[in-house]
Amino acid sequence: MAAYARPAIPLFSRDTSSNPVANILCEINTTPLIDVMLVLLVTLILTLPILTHAVKIDLPQGSPIAAAPQPEVIELDIEFDGTLVWNGTEVHSMQQLGEYFRAEASKNPQPEIHLRPNPHVRYDVVAKVLALAQRNRMKKVGFINTGTSQD
């Protein structure tokens, strides 16, 4: 049995005459790169005029809208024991509060109710006041300063 040794050929030798593999590795196919660049160039040429094109439109100028009158603000405080205070005057019953709500709901524009419950009041009282306002068609009810206690 005889073994033959082949002389070692370096993979990246500068002598390409004796190494056919080196001819293949030295050439880079640039055709796909050129194709991609041409497609990008054509896309840029086609989209650039569309992006810079502007149409001048003369919009009609209307008269400024008159400011709507500011609605009246009603302060409704609920004390820690459930006592209701309507703009500084004490409300003695839920029926009286309902009458106040009915009178205010008929006004145009409808007043805003700024509800200020004490942080220690039972939620049941606040829920009854909100339900009464809804039954009497009060549309503008908001909570004011509910996070801090008033001392």
Domain ranges within the chain, ordered by starting residue: 20-52, 73-143
Residues with Cβ within 8 Å of residue 62, at least 6 apart in sequence = none
Q: Where are the beta strands (DSSP E) in the chain?
A: 73-78, 84-86, 89-91, 112-117, 141-143
User: Which of 116, 108, 112 has its CA nearest to residue 150?
Assistant: 116
User: What percentage of the chain reaches a pLDDT higher than 90?
Assistant: 48
> For 33-71, what is each residue's pLDDT tens digit?
999 999 999 998 888 877 677 778 888 888 877 777 788
Alpha-carbon dihedral sign for residues 37, 41, 42, 47: positive
Q: Which amino acid is at 27?
A: E
**According to the model, what pLDDT value does residue 18 have?**
60
Question: Which 3 state secondary structure label does DSSP give 27?
Answer: coil
Encoding tokens for residue 55? 């149409």
Position 90 pLDDT exceeds 90: yes
What is the topology classification, in CATH, of domain 73-143?
A: Nucleotidyltransferase; domain 5 (3.30.420)
Say what the pTM is.
0.53
**According to the model, what pLDDT value does residue 12 have?**
58
Alpha-carbon dihedral sign for residues 133, 101, 145, 78: negative
